[in-house]
Structure 1
């Protein structure tokens, strides 16, 4: 992790039950005056988990899919996270969260919770575990991207990053919300959106390829402080792209993430 981000730092500070103040560590990569989505995604999961923990009727379910739609500019201003149950149930539940900045919705997320039971006798499939991060060297991602968020990361690629293809571990010592212990899933998700920046097909100084969404499917709940990203980036011929990632923890694969990209030249490069 970059030495400028002390271990006691956090991405957000709580104002009240629903409102949070972002810190300098959320600074974006495309625009350092805006929030990088990755920490905000983790904050949304944290808010959803708090909401369900405070609901007396909530069933013991696990988050198995969450989709985020980014609706507008993520200003580094106070944000409000509102959560509601869309489809209650004892074995299947759908929860929605909306993030507002200056009273305007900027992110909408929907999370499916499914029943947890023992299916170990039929479990199987998926990728093999990745080489553990302790055996790998760090990569300074600030050589490609600016921003407060990128500066907090400890990146451990399995091989030198290639255009459109990279497998790496990522972690951070920066906490999600000051004075609060985030759950393993929220801390894990807070790093997943990094995937779109680890395997750039074209220099971001010449081309823009921000994602407008992030969808995560999980077949197992992640554990530990490392998020493994086995990522492939494809650019199409008409301005769209896809970042596809197999997600890992130290034990092995946990699921998949997809991001749709809007691909266009930087001003002055068209």
Structure 2
């Protein structure tokens, strides 16, 4: 079975062409390595009575299409709240880090809890918009773009600005196991800046060195929707925000700081 990663044992993983990003054919899109780190967090001293409520990913440099080591450890153990950290390393150098706050789910739901936030009409459903071939948009290429289904309800890669897009992975993260809900969420959420970028990718770089997600609950099903927008200041710094949905409703929100630079500078 095809997949984004191949597990080589002993915390070593080989990326496939499906991880390749649009900026440089030698390096990965941020989604697949981010999802791999979430897998490591979830497998670190697992507790079925908890959820990952906040995840922060830091990207210390381009992630190469090469064998990488991914491992995790518990930073702060606790009965109700725990903090974990996972590192992605290339030849002994850390190229990406993920931290997560894991929170215990109460046995009894609070009586003051709000009802689940339903899917707003504006985002539609995956079949309300046709699937596009992202590589037909000028400047967008790479294995990751082809490894995802893209259904734009609003905006598009060829139409810079705010966007609403449904995504679904064509392949599992690892062929030997089911992709978890939070792995799917991270893999999709990292596309928010590209989906809503207001600049032409052929002329500009708008690259996120980080991704932070606050999650209300793990998503259900295979589809993730990004309702995304990007702001750019004249100083050359950008900010992408996105509401994240599954077919039931809101599951969380994401934010990314952006490096903005004209290509070749």
After TM superposition, give the deviation of residue 128 of structure 1 in Å.
4.3
Report the alpha carbon displacement of residue 255 of structure 1 after superposing the two structures with TM: 0.9
Q: Residues of 2 paired with 1:215 and 1:87: CA distance?
A: 19
- TM superposition shift of 1:59: 6.8
Question: 1:59 touches 1:91 (CA, 8 Å); kept in 2?
Answer: no
SS at the partner of 1:176? coil
**2:49/2:105 contact within 8 Å kept:** yes
The corresponding residue for 2:52 is 63
What's the TM-score, normalizing by structure 1?
0.90
For residues 248 and 14 of structure 1, the distance between their equivalents in structure 2, rounded to whole angstroms, comes to: 29
Secondary structure of 1:187's counterpart equals helix
Q: Which residue of 1 aligns with 2:143?
A: 148
Pairs aligned (count): 257
Say if 1:119 and 1:156 are closer, same or farther in 2 by CA, change over 3 A: farther
Match of 2:6 in 1: 13
User: Is 1:224 aligned to 2:221, yes or no?
Assistant: yes
Aligned with residue 234 of structure 2, among 237, 244, 248? 237
1:114 is aligned to 103
TM-superposed CA distance for 1:32, in Å, is 1.5
Q: Report the CA distance shift for 1:120/1:168 in structure 2 as closer, same or farther (over 3 A).
A: farther
In the alignment, what sits opposite 1:259? 256
Q: Structure 2: 5+ residue runs without aligned partners?
A: none
Quote the Cα distance in structure 1 between the aligned partners of 2:119 and 2:173. 29
Task: Report Cα offsets for 1:128-175 as digits up to 9, x if no partner.
Answer: 433111222112221141100011111111124342200110112211
1:207 alignment partner in structure 2: 204
Aligned residue number for residue 152 of structure 2: 157
State whether residues 10 and 175 of structure 1, in contact with CA within 8 Å, keep that contact through their aligned partners in structure 2. Answer: yes
Q: Encode CA deviations 1:166-191: one digit per residue, 9 max, x unaligned.
A: 01101122110121222221122222
Question: Unaligned 5+ residue runs, structure 1?
Answer: 1-7
Q: Which position in structure 2 is the counterpart of 1:134?
A: 127
Does 2:186 correspond to 1:195?
A: no
What residue in structure 2 maps to residue 31 of structure 1? 24
Q: How much is the aligned-residue C-alpha RMSD, in angstroms? A: 1.7
| 1:38-53 matches, cutoff 5 A | 38-53=31-46
Q: Which residue of 2 aligns with 1:103?
A: 92
| Inter-partner Cα distance in structure 1 for 2:255 and 2:25 | 24
**Farther off after superposition, 118-127 or 176-185:** 118-127
Q: Does the 8 Å contact 1:188/1:226 carry over to 2?
A: no
Displaced runs of 4 or more, over 4 A: 124-128
**How much has 1:120 moved relative to structure 2?**
6.5
Greater mean deviation of Cα atoms: 156-165 or 252-261: 156-165
**Is 2:60–2:209's contact at 8 Å kept on the other side of the alignment?**
yes
Distance 1:236 1:220, change over 3 A: same
* SS of match in other structure, 2:44: helix
Question: Could you tell me how far apart the structure 2 residues matched to 1:122 and 1:50 are?
Answer: 29
Deviation track 1:92-148 (CA, whole Å, cap 9, x = no partner) reads: 000011110111000111100112122475224867433111222112221141100
